[in-house]
């Protein structure tokens, strides 16, 4: 299971404020209403039950995408593992616009988001017993997906710009597994959980080490458009894919944080032989992302909004989260200075607090569980650092040892209202 989901039981506690999740705020969802008009007669011509027939009115006309339009029946039909032509057209255009790789035979394939794309990439590239290079603090669902294929995470040290190139080299040199390391998994922008963002120089340096050591990079970048310190799309940092000359980067793109996560729609960009394999994998697992979601995305992005509307939307989502980030920073500077340390995240949805715990507490085994319990008692939920700790299979720690070796809490600023965030931080201060 994804350990983050295990925290949902606390959400039932009356009055609890959660900064635990990385949930996009519904005000950023671009849909005000979705309606579907059912047929009035069934196949035999009999009238449908009134309740069904009156369900709603339609806002999905049957041919709702002007270029390679999927009709409603196409959207409802079995599709193809690469994704509907129209929505793929958007994915290709977006890749050209922002990430154009420096080799010719790249391609895109639709996924049900980056969780799906990563699980598939890992299954394709890792065998049981393999190691996979990851950031030392890692997205938990990715750690679980690695475990799922009986591979082991091989953690690489990070700093506030993410994975450290020299540590990557050292981790590879120290590896003693039967088969060589072949894959790096990283989140270059708004890293989950640390909020770290790789600078241009860091991206280039990691890519260069990957070339030197002949490693594949899985670039999971759902927060790419949530970069707060540049004025526009034109100022976004280049992706690792855009530096790729060899077809060694597999880039995972998601609409979750910028349209809506419930659409379960994203895409994977890589060299064509790899996208072919992902297509075949789709064909025997998910088949395709939901036809509804693809059709709605195609209608919205190609037909209704076009490029100008898309850019406006991205800018407004970015602005929404930038102001939430800034107000959390103001509150934290006022309330938490001295109690913990953090770096203002330049992207993504998370603050990563390193706790300054008193020595008397730190010497007691199980102290991080106690900190977590006190937070819950004070009515605030943050995610304990241990959930993100990437430990190789060879290291066995008890739950308390694991928790104590991760003196961090992750706070998400995307979801709660400003007054709740403020109250959450006041409660955190009391708990600490
Ligand atoms: C690093 C990272 N990858 C992937 C995901 C999930 O993305 P998707 O909704 O596209 O599966 C998240 C979301 O929390 C994330 O933080």
Q: Which CATH number characterizes residue 90's domain?
A: 3.40.640.10
Ligand 1 atom, smallest distance to 255 CA: 10
Find the Cα–Cα–Cα–Cα dihedral 44, 49, 51, 54, rounded to 10°. 40
Q: Does the CB atom of residue 113 touch ligand 1 within 6 A?
A: yes
Question: CATH code at 381?
Answer: 3.90.1150.10
Q: Does the CB atom of residue 22 touch ligand 1 within 6 A?
A: yes
> Domains in the chain: how many in total?
2
Residues 166 and 224 reside in one and the same domain = yes
Ligand 1 atom, smallest distance to 113 CA: 10
What DSSP string runs through 141-210?
HHHHHHHHTT-EEEEE-EETTEE-HHHHHHHHHH---SS---EEEE--SS-TTT-----HHHHHHHHHHH
CA 222 to centroid of ligand 1, rounded, Å: 6
> At residue 421, does pLDDT exceed 60?
yes
Rounded mean pLDDT, 395-421: 94
Residue 177 is predicted with a pLDDT of 92
Rounded mean pLDDT, 103-123: 97
Residue 44 is predicted with a pLDDT of 77
Least confident interval from 21-35, 147-161, 318-332: 21-35
Residue 48 is predicted with a pLDDT of 65
Residue 392 domain-assigned (yes or no): yes
Residue 364 domain-assigned (yes or no): yes
Residues 125 and 274 reside in one and the same domain = yes
Q: Does the CB atom of residue 192 touch ligand 1 within 6 A?
A: yes
3-state secondary structure 263-328: HCCEEEEEEHHHHHHHHHHHHHCCCCCCHHHHHHHHHHHHHHHHHHHHHHHHHHHHHHHHHHHHHH
Residue 177 domain-assigned (yes or no): yes
Q: Does the CB atom of residue 115 touch ligand 1 within 6 A?
A: yes
9-23, 218-232, 374-388: which is most confident = 374-388
Residues 119 and 253 reside in one and the same domain = yes
Ligand 1 atom, smallest distance to 142 CA: 3
Q: Does the CB atom of residue 220 touch ligand 1 within 6 A?
A: yes
Residue 375 domain-assigned (yes or no): yes
Residues 164 and 215 reside in one and the same domain = yes
Q: At which of 270, 303, 336 does a domain end?
A: 303
Select the more confidently predicted residue: 58 or 389.
Answer: 389
Q: Could you tell which of 20, 120, 121, 141 is best to mutate to test the pocket of ligand 1, judged by most ligand atoms within 8 Å of the CB?
A: 141
Residues 139 and 284 reside in one and the same domain = yes
Residue 50 is predicted with a pLDDT of 56
Q: Does the CB atom of residue 111 touch ligand 1 within 6 A?
A: no
Residue 421 domain-assigned (yes or no): yes
> At residue 56, does pLDDT exceed 50?
no
Rounded mean pLDDT, 209-226: 98
Average of per-residue pLDDT values in the chain: 91
Residues 9 and 104 reside in one and the same domain = no
Residues 152 and 20 reside in one and the same domain = no
For residue 386, give its domain range.
3-28+314-431
Ligand 1 atom, smallest distance to 22 CA: 14
Rounded mean pLDDT, 27-36: 84
pLDDT digits (tens, 9 = 90+) for 232-289: 667 899 999 999 999 999 999 999 999 999 999 999 999 999 999 999 999 999 999 9
CB 218 within 8 A of CB 118: yes
Residue 278 domain-assigned (yes or no): yes
Residue 51 domain-assigned (yes or no): no
Residues 11 and 154 reside in one and the same domain = no
pLDDT digits (tens, 9 = 90+) for 376-396: 999 999 999 999 999 998 888
Least confident interval from 37-51, 150-164, 189-203, 285-299: 37-51
Residue 47 domain-assigned (yes or no): no
Residue 53 is predicted with a pLDDT of 46
Q: Does the CB atom of residue 187 touch ligand 1 within 6 A?
A: yes
Residues 139 and 254 reside in one and the same domain = yes
Share of the chain above pLDDT 90, in %: 76
Q: Could you tell which of 25, 110, 218, 220 is best to mutate to test the pocket of ligand 1, judged by most ligand atoms within 8 Å of the CB?
A: 220
């Amino acid at each position: 299971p994804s350990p983050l989901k295990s925290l949902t039981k606390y959400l039932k506690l009356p009055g609890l404020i959660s900064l635990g999740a990385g949930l996009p705020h519904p005000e950023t969802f671009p849909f005000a209403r979705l309606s579907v008009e059912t047929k009035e007669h069934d196949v035999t011509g009999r009238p449908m039950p009134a309740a069904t027939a009156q369900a709603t009115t339609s806002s999905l006309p049957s041919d709702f995408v002007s270029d390679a339009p999927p009709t409603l029946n196409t959207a409802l039909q079995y599709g193809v593992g690469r994704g509907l032509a129209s929505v793929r057209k958007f994915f290709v255009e977006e890749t050209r616009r922002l990430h154009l790789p420096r080799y010719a035979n790249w391609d895109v394939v639709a996924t049900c988001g980056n969780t799906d794309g990563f699980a598939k990439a890992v299954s394709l590239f890792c065998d049981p017993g393999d190691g996979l290079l990851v950031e030392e603090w890692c997205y938990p669902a990715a750690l679980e997906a690695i475990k799922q294929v009986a591979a082991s995470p091989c953690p690489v040290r990070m700093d506030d710009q993410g994975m450290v190139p020299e540590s990557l080299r050292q981790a590879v040199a120290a590896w003693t597994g039967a088969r060589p390391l072949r894959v790096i998994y990283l989140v270059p922008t708004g890293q989950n959980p640390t909020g770290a963002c790789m600078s241009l120089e860091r991206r280039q340096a990691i890519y260069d080490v990957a070339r030197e050591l002949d490693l594949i990079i899985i670039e999971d970048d759902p927060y790419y458009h949530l970069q707060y310190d540049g004025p526009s799309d034109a100022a976004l940092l280049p992706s690792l894919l855009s530096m790729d000359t060899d077809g060694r980067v597999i880039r995972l793109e998601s609409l979750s944080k910028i349209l809506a996560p419930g659409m379960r729609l994203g895409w994977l960009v890589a060299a064509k032989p790899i996208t072919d394999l992902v297509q075949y994998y789709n064909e025997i697992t998910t088949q395709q992302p939901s036809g509804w979601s693809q059709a709605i995305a195609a209608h919205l992005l190609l037909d209704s909004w076009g490029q100008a509307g898309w850019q406006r939307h991205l800018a407004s989502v970015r602005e929404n989260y930038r102001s939430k980030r800034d107000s959390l920073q103001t509150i934290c500077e006022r309330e938490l200075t001295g109690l913990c340390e953090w770096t203002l995240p330049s992207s993504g949805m998370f603050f990563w607090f390193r706790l300054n715990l008193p020595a008397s507490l730190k010497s007691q085994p199980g102290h991080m569980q106690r900190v977590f319990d006190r937070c819950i008692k004070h009515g605030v939920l943050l995610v304990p650092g241990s959930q993100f700790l990437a430990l190789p299979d060879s290291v066995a720690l008890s739950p308390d040892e694991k928790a104590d070796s991760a003196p961090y809490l992750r706070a998400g600023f995307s979801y709660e209202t400003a007054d709740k965030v403020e109250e959450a931080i006041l409660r955190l201060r009391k708990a600490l």
